């Protein structure tokens, strides 16, 4: 079975609000974190610099609208799906909220 056959991000199920989609990426709310995330449409972990710039620009548009231009940081540590590039825009209080709900 190919690695993409089991990849949730490659499947790209529309289970949350989708804010943007083009031929390179999509931006939607993360099912786990409930914050905007961008997903590269190619199954891999290292987008080339020009591609990465495009992905992060699309994410910033959504994050600026949600949190304000200074109200978030980009987190591209791929914790739950480490083999498919994606990045989250997390507001500054995200981690305190996340750990307080446990």
- Read off the pLDDT of each residue in 77-87 and give the average, rounded to a whole number: 94
Distance CA 88, CA 4 (A): 21
Total residues found in the chain within this entry: 102
If you ran DSSP here, which 8-state letter would residue 3 be given? G
pLDDT digits (tens, 9 = 90+) for 8-53: 888 877 888 899 999 999 999 998 888 999 999 999 999 999 999 9
> What is the reported pLDDT for 102?
56
Q: Give SS3 for 20.
A: strand
User: Does residue 1 carry a pLDDT above 50?
Assistant: no
Distance CA 102, CA 97 (A): 9
User: Does residue 57 carry a pLDDT above 70?
Assistant: yes
CATH of domain 3-100: 3.30.428.10
pTM for this one? 0.86
Q: Where are the alpha helices (DSSP H) in the chain?
A: 8-11, 49-67, 94-100
Could you tell me if 43 and 61 are in contact, meaning their C-beta atoms sit under 8 angstroms apart?
A: no
């Amino acid at each position: 079975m190919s690695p993409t056959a089991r990849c949730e991000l490659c499947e790209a199920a529309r289970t949350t609000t989708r804010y943007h989609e083009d031929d390179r990426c999509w931006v939607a709310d993360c099912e786990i974190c409930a914050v905007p995330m961008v997903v590269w449409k190619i199954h891999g972990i290292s987008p080339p610099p020009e591609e990465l710039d495009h992905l992060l620009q699309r994410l910033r548009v959504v994050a600026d609208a949600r949190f304000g231009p200074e109200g978030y940081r980009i987190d591209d540590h791929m914790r739950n799906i480490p083999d498919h590039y994606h990045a989250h825009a997390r507001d500054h209080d995200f981690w305190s909220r996340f750990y307080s709900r446990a």
